[in-house]
C-alpha cells in the first residue's frame, strides 16, 4: 500500500506492507538518525515525534502513521545541536547511538515539563531511554544546564 | 596544560548528537544482500540433513549456505594478538551445533523479509544429543563439546578438548598451604557470578563488498579491525592481503566487539556471491549469541593474623567458556592477578584456573575481563574477614593495601610504580562521610541505610604484547593529519589522542585532522581493549609528535640556512631565538609539498614491558527495604587513580558508566537457561540493564598519581571502573542485614528470603 506522511515538514509517500514498522519506513526514507536497538519497545533508540509527541517508531506501524506529522532528528537539527552542545560539553553522548532517541525525548520533554522540573521528574520522563555508556549522570547534568540556560531553575 | 587534563568536547560529538549517519548500519549500500542466520534450537546436536528446496523458491532468495559449503579451517573469533591464546575451535558453519543459537545455515536474499521468510522454510533434521549445561560438571564429563580431531590450541594454555578443557593454569608464590596453616584466621568462601551481556546499544553489525580492486572490504562495528583481518583470512582460507577492514563510529563495545561475532558471515556470502552482503544482529541474537562475560565460580581461601594482616591468598577460578573458547584462557587470568595484587603483606599466594567448555552461549571479553569476577570474590572475602574480626573494612584495607614501590604479589613480576590507593580511600571516606554512616542506620520507615566498600585495580594494556601506532603528517598550510589504528568506540580515544598531539605540537586541536580506522590506511594497532588505548597508543602519539617536531626543526633550519641546533619551534614557527629570523609552520608545510622540501611524516609505534594498574576505591550507600528485599542505590562514591587524567569529562563519564554497568551486574542482570539450554533473558524486557531510575547518584573524584611510563603520566580507566560495585554493594547489604551474599545477582527475592530464613 501507499503511505503518505508529513515527514520533517514535507509530504512523503512510499510503499509499505501492512506490517511495516514506522522505524523501517523512516530509515528507508533516509532518516538514519532513527536507530533500532531492540525488538521489544524497550530501549527508546527509535524515538520520533508523531504530531509533536514522542513515540517509539518500532511500536507504530507505517500505516498507522499515515496522515500524521512525523518529525525525526533530521527535521530538528538546530534544536538537536542546541541541546546536543550541552550534552557534548558533559561528554554525555559517548558512543552516541542512543543520542538521537534520547534527545528527541528531551526535546519533547521540555514542551511538557517546566524548566524547574525536579531531577526525579526528569528521570521518570526519560526512563524509557536506555544508555549503556554513560550511567546517565552526565545526561542529567546536561539537561539541568540546558534548562538553566533556558531560564529555569539553576542547576 | 592547554589540552591535556582539560574537559575537552569529543571531536565527533556534534555529528553524534545531531544524528548523522555515521554507524555501520547507516552506510549499507543499495544492492546489498541481507544475510540471516538460521540458528539451532538445540543446545547439542548433529545436523543430519538440511533441505533448502522450498526456501530457495522464495522470491528474492539468492543463496543458502550450510556446513557443506564452508572451508574446513578451524579458527577463533577472539580479537587477540597472534598467536591467539584462544583455541581454534570453530567453523563458520559446523555439522555439530554446540549451543542454542549456533549457526546452521546462512540465507542471503535481496531483502530482509525474503531472507526471514526463507529461513522459516528450511527443513533441518537434527540428531539431538544430550547437552552439557552445568559447567561445574564439565571437566571430564562423558559429553564432549569439542570431540573434533582438528581442535587446535596455538599456545600452551593447557587446553584438552577430550576433557572439555579450554585451558588450565597454576601459579604459586611461596608456600600457601604452609602459610594458611600458620594463620590464626582462615576464611574459605565460594562465589558465583553469571554471564553478563555487554548490551551495547548498537547490536553486532557488518557489511562487506568487493572493492574496485576486487578485494574483500568489510565495514564493521568492531574494536579490533586488524585482528578481524586475520580472523577472516583464517576463516575464509584467503590471503590477508586481499582483505580490508573499515571501522566507522561504533555504538558501544565494552569488549563484545573484541570478538568477530558478526564479521565472518557476510564476508563469506560476499566471497561466494560476489555481492555486497550485510548482517545486522537482532537484539535477541546479540543477547543469546553474542560474547558475554564468562560465568565463573571462584573459590577464595584467605589467611590472616588476628590483627587483620592478610598473609595468604589462594584463589581458584572455574570459568565457563560455553560452546567456544574466545578469550577463555586469558579472561580467567585476571581473576587472580588483579585481585591478589591489591594486597601488599602476603607471604604466599596461589592462583589456579580451569576454563571448561559447555553447551551454553560462548563467552568473550567484557569490560573488566575476569578482574571483575575475581575482585568480587576477593574483596568480598576481605569484607567478611573485617566483619569476623570486628574491624572497619576501610581500616583493614589501609592496613593491607599494596603501596607504591612494592613488588605486586602476583602481577607478572611487576612493581607498583604509581599508586594513591591510600589517598583514594581517605578521600572516599570523607566524601561518603563513612565514619558517620558505617555500618548502618535504621530509618523511621523501617528501611535500612548502610554503606559498603571495595577496592579495585586493572591493567593498562597487555605488557609486552599490545602495540599501538600512529602516523602524523604535516600538510600544506601547516595543519596535521593524525592517523590512528586504535578504535574509538564512543570512549573518545580519537579525542584524547588529538588532545595529546595538540599538546605535544603546541597547536590548536582544530589544526589536527584525526582519522581511524581503515586497515589499508591506518598504522597497525592491536585495537581498543585491555585498557590499552590511552596508555599504549597515547605514548605512540607522544613519540610520533617528538619525532615530527625534529623534522619540522630540520626543515625550518634548512629553509633559513642555519644549523638545526640554533633553532626552536613554538608550534607556529621555527625561529632563531634573539633574531628576526623565522619561518612559519604554514610555509614549512607548503615547502614540504614542493620539490625543494621533504614531505614531513612520522609513524611511531609503542609497546610497554609493563602494565601499570590504575587503582580505585568504591563506596556505596544503599537503602534496603527489609520487607521486600529491594536494594536501592542512594549514593556511589568513586575515587580513582588513573594517573594523569587526560580528559576530565571523558574519564568521569567512563567512571559513571562503568559503575552503572557494575550495579546492573550486581542487582539486576541475570542470564538464565531452560533445562534444555535455551536462554530465557534474550531481550531488554527480560535482561534488565539499569535505567536512569536505578542508577542513583554517582560522585567521582580523582586522586592522580604520575605514571612515568605513560603519556603525560597517564594510566588507563576504561575497565577498572566496573569492578567495585559488586563487592561494595554486597558489603553494604551485609552491613544492613548480616547476610553475606556469594552469588550474583542479588535480587530482592534473595534478600527477602535470606532475611526470612535468618528470622527463623
Task: Determine, for residues A91 and B198 on separate chains, whether the beta-carbon distance falls below 8 Å.
Answer: no
Pick from A42, A96, A140: CB nearest B685: A42
- CB < 8 Å to A131, chain B: 201, 692
Q: How many CB atoms lie within 10 A of CB B652?
A: 27
For residues B240 and B315, membership in a common domain is answered with no
pLDDT band for position B205 (cuts 50, 70, 90): very high
pLDDT, average across residues A16-37: 97
pLDDT of residue B487: 97
B567: domain range? 468-606
Distance from CA of A31 to the nearest CA of B (A): 8
Task: Determine, for residues A132 and B282 on separate chains, whether the beta-carbon distance falls below 8 Å.
Answer: no
Handedness of CA B686, A107, B489, A35 (dihedral sign): positive
pLDDT of residue A155: 47
- Whether the per-residue pLDDT at B183 is higher than 90: the answer is yes
All three cell numbers of B486, joined, read 586504535
How many CA within 13 A on the CB side of residue A80? 26
Report the CATH number at residue B709: 3.30.365.10
Q: What is the total residue count of chain A?
A: 155
pLDDT of residue A152: 58
For residues B417 and B447, membership in a common domain is answered with yes
- The neighbouring-strand residues paired with B312 are B303, B348
Give first-to-last CA distance, chain B, whole Å: 62
Distance from CA of B719 to the nearest CA of A (A): 12
pLDDT tens figures, B682-700: 999 999 999 999 999 999 9
pLDDT of residue B365: 98
SS (H, E, C) B285-318: HHHHCCCCCCEEEEEEEEEECCCCCEEEEEEEEE
3-state secondary structure at position B631 = strand
- Whether the per-residue pLDDT at B630 is higher than 80: the answer is yes
**The domain over range A76-149 is classified in CATH as 3.40.50.970:** no
Domain-terminating residue out of B544, B572, B606: B606
CA B361 to chain centre: 18
For residues B602 and B615, membership in a common domain is answered with no
3-state secondary structure at position B79 = coil
For residues B401 and B497, membership in a common domain is answered with no
pLDDT, average across residues B203-228: 98
pLDDT, average across residues B299-314: 98
3-state secondary structure at position B170 = strand
Q: Could you tell me if residue B215 is inside a domain?
A: yes
The domain made up of A2-74 has a fold known as Ubiquitin-like (UB roll) (3.10.20)
- CB < 8 Å to A83, chain B: 17
For residues B281 and B306, membership in a common domain is answered with no
pLDDT, average across residues B223-232: 98
For residues B433 and B496, membership in a common domain is answered with no
For residues B567 and B441, membership in a common domain is answered with no
Which part of chain A is CATH 3.10.20.30? 2-74
Domain-terminating residue out of B606, B626, B643: B606
Which part of chain A is CATH 1.10.150.120? 76-149
For residues B321 and B397, membership in a common domain is answered with yes
For residues B424 and B549, membership in a common domain is answered with no
Q: Which residue of B30, B112, B201 is the best one to mutate when testing the A interface, meaning the one whose CB has the most A CBs within 10 A?
A: B201
Domain-terminating residue out of B565, B585, B606: B606
For residues B456 and B480, membership in a common domain is answered with no
Count of domains forming chain B: 3
Which helix (H) or strand (E) segment holds residue B573: the answer is strand B573-575
For residues B742 and B683, membership in a common domain is answered with yes
Q: Return the residue matching grid coordinates 542487582.
A: B667
For residues B571 and B635, membership in a common domain is answered with no
pLDDT of residue B159: 98
pLDDT tens figures, B414-430: 999 999 999 999 999 99
pLDDT tens figures, B35-48: 999 999 999 999 99
Task: Determine, for residues A33 and B697 on separate chains, whether the beta-carbon distance falls below 8 Å.
Answer: no
Task: Determine, for residues A138 and B492 on separate chains, whether the beta-carbon distance falls below 8 Å.
Answer: no
3-state secondary structure at position B382 = helix
Interface of A with B in 57-96 (CB under 8 A): 72-74, 77, 80-81, 83-85, 87-96
pLDDT of residue B496: 98
pLDDT tens figures, B93-151: 999 999 999 999 999 999 999 999 999 999 999 999 999 999 999 999 999 999 999 99
Pick left, alpha or beta for residue A141 (phi over 0 → left; psi -120 to 50 → alpha; otherwise beta): alpha
- CB < 8 Å to A87, chain B: 13, 17
Task: Determine, for residues B10 and A83 on separate chains, whether the beta-carbon distance falls below 8 Å.
Answer: no
- The neighbouring-strand residues paired with A6 are A11, A69
Report the CATH number at residue B246: 3.90.1170.50
- Whether the per-residue pLDDT at B440 is higher than 60: the answer is yes
Task: Determine, for residues B692 and A92 on separate chains, whether the beta-carbon distance falls below 8 Å.
Answer: no
All three cell numbers of B267, joined, read 564476508
pLDDT tens figures, B358-370: 999 999 999 999 9
Q: Could you tell me if residue B533 is inside a domain?
A: yes
Amino acid at each position: 500500500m501507499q503511505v503518505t506522511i508529513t515527514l520533517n515538514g514535507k509530504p512523503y509517500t512510499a510503499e509499505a506492507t501492512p506490517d511495516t514498522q514506522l522505524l523501517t519506513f523512516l530509515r528507508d526514507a533516509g532518516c538514519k538518525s532513527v536507530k533500532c536497538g531492540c525488538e521489544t519497545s524497550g530501549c527508546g533508540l527509535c524515538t520520533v515525534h508523531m504530531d509533536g509527541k514522542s513515540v517509539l517508531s518500532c511500536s507504530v506501524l507505517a500505516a498507522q502513521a499515515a496522515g500524521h506529522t512525523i518529525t525525526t532528528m533530521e527535521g530538528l537539527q538546530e534544536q538537536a545541536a542546541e541541546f546536543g552542545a550541552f550534552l557534548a560539553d558533559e561528554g554525555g553522548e559517548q558512543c552516541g547511538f542512543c543520542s538521537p532517541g534520547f534527545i528527541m525525548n528531551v526535546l519533547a520533554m521540555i514542551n511538557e515539563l517546566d524548566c524547574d522540573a525536579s531531577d526525579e521528574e526528569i528521570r521518570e520522563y526519560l526512563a524509557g531511554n536506555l544508555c549503556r555508556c554513560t550511567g546517565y549522570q552526565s545526561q542529567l547534568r546536561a539537561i539541568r544546564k540546558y534548562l538553566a540556560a533556558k531560564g529555569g531553575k539553576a542547576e | 596544560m592547554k589540552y591535556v587534563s582539560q574537559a575537552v568536547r569529543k571531536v565527533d560529538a556534534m555529528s553524534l548528537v545531531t544524528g548523522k549517519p555515521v554507524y555501520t548500519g547507516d552506510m549499507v549500500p543499495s544492492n546489498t544482500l541481507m544475510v540471516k542466520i538460521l540458528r539451532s534450537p538445540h543446545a547439542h546436536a548433529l545436523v543430519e540433513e538440511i533441505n533448502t528446496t522450498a526456501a530457495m523458491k522464495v522470491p528474492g532468495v539468492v543463496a543458502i549456505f550450510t556446513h557443506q559449503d564452508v572451508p574446513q579451517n578451524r579458527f577463533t573469533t577472539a580479537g587477540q594478538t597472534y598467536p591467539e591464546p584462544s583455541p581454534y575451535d570453530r567453523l563458520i558453519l559446523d555439522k555439530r551445533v554446540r549451543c542454542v543459537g549456533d549457526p546452521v545455515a546462512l540465507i542471503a536474499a535481496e531483502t530482509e523479509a525474503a531472507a526471514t521468510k526463507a529461513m522459516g522454510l528450511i527443513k533441518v533434521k537434527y540428531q539431538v544429543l544430550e547437552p552439557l549445561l552445568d559447567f561445574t560438571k564439565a571437566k571430564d564429563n562423558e559429553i564432549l563439546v569439542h570431540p573434533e580431531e582438528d581442535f587446535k590450541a596455538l599456545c600452551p594454555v593447557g587446553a584438552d578438548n577430550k576433557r572439555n578443557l579450554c585451558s588450565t593454569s597454576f601459579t604459586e608464590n611461596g608456600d600457601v598451604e604452609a602459610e594458611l596453616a600458620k594463620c590464626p584466621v582462615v576464611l574459605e568462601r565460594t562465589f558465583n557470578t553469571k554471564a553478563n551481556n555487554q548490551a551495547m546499544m548498537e547490536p553486532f553489525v557488518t557489511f562487506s563488498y568487493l572493492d574496485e580492486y576486487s578485494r574483500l572490504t568489510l565495514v564493521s562495528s568492531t574494536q579490533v579491525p586488524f585482528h578481524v583481518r586475520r580472523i577472516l583470512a583464517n576463516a575464509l582460507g584467503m590471503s590477508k592481503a586481499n582483505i580490508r577492514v573499515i571501522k566507522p563510529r561504533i555504538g558501544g563495545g565494552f569488549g563484545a566487539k573484541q570478538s568477530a561475532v558478526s564479521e565472518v558471515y557476510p564476508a563469506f556470502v560476499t566471497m561466494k556471491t560476489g555481492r555486497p552482503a550485510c548482517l545486522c544482529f537482532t537484539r535477541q541474537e546479540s543477547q543469546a549469541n553474542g560474547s558475554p562475560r564468562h560465568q565463573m565460580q571462584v573459590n577464595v581461601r584467605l589467611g590472616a593474623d588476628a590483627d587483620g594482616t592478610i598473609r595468604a591468598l589462594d584463589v581458584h577460578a572455574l570459568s565457563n567458556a560455553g560452546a567456544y573458547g574466545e578469550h577463555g584462557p586469558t579472561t580467567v587470568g585476571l581473576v587472580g592477578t588483579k585481585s591478589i595484587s591489591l594486597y601488599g603483606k602476603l607471604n604466599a599466594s596461589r592462583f589456579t584456573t580451569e576454563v571448561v567448555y559447555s553447551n551454553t552461549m560462548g563467552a568473550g571479553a567484557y569490560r573488566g575481563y575476569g578482574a571483575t569476577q575475581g575482585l568480587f570474590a576477593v574483596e568480598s572475602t576481605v569484607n567478611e574477614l573485617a566483619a569476623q574480626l570486628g574491624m572497619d573494612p576501610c581500616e583493614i584495607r589501609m592496613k593491607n593495601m599494596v603501596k607504591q614501590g612494592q613488588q605486586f604479589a602476583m602481577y607478572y613480576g611487576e612493581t607498583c610504580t604509581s599508586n594513591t590507593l591510600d589517598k583514594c580511600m581517605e578521600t572516599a571516606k570523607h566524601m561518603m562521610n563513612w565514619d558517620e554512616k558505617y555500618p548502618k542506620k535504621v530509618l523511621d520507615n523501617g528501611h535500612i541505610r548502610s554503606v559498603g566498600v571495595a577496592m579495585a585495580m586493572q591493567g593498562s594494556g597487555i605488557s609486552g604484547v599490545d602495540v599501538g601506532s600512529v602516523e602524523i603528517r604535516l600538510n600544506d598550510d601547516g595543519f596535521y593529519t593524525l592517523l590512528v589504528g586504535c578504535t574509538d568506540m564512543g570512549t573518545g580515544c580519537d579525542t584524547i589522542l588529538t588532545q595529546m598531539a595538540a599538546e605535544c605540537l603546541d597547536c590548536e586541536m582544530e589544526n589536527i585532522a584525526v582519522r581511524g580506522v581503515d586497515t589499508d590506511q591506518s598504522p597497525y594497532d592491536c585495537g581498543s581493549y585491555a585498557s590499552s588505548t590511552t596508555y599504549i597508543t597515547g605514548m605512540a602519539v607522544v613519540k610520533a609528535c617528538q619525532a615530527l617536531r625534529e623534522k619540522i626543526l630540520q626543515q625550518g633550519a634548512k629553509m633559513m640556512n642555519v644549523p638545526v641546533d640554533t633553532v626552536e619551534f613554538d608550534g607556529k614557527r621555527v625561529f632563531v631565538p634573539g633574531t628576526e629570523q623565522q619561518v612559519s609552520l604554514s610555509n614549512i608545510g607548503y615547502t614540504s609539498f614542493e620539490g625543494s622540501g621533504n614531505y614531513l611524516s612520522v609513524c611511531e609505534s609503542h609497546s610497554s614491558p609493563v602494565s601499570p594498574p590504575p587503582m580505585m576505591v568504591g563506596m556505596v550507600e544503599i537503602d534496603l527495604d527489609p520487607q521486600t528485599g529491594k536494594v536501592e542505590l542512594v549514593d556511589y562514591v568513586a575515587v580513582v587513580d588513573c594517573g594523569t587524567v587526560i580528559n576530565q569529562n571523558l574519564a568521569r563519564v567512563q567512571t559513571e558508566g562503568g559503575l552503572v554497568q557494575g550495579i546492573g551486574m550486581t542487582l539486576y542482570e541475570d542470564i538464565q537457561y531452560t533445562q534444555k539450554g535455551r536462554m530465557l533473558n534474550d531481550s531488554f524486557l527480560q535482561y534488565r540493564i539499569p535505567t536512569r531510575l536505578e542508577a542513583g547518584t554517582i560522585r567521582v573524584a580523582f586522586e592522580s598519581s604520575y605514571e612515568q611510563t605513560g603519556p603525560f603520566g597517564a594510566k588507563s580507566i576504561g575497565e577498572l571502573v566496573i569492578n567495585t560495585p559488586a563487592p561494595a554493594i554486597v558489603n553494604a547489604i551485609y552491613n544492613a542485614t548480616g547476610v553475606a551474599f556469594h552469588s550474583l545477582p542479588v535480587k530482592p527475592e534473595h534478600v527477602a528470603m535470606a532475611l526470612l530464613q535468618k528470622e527463623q
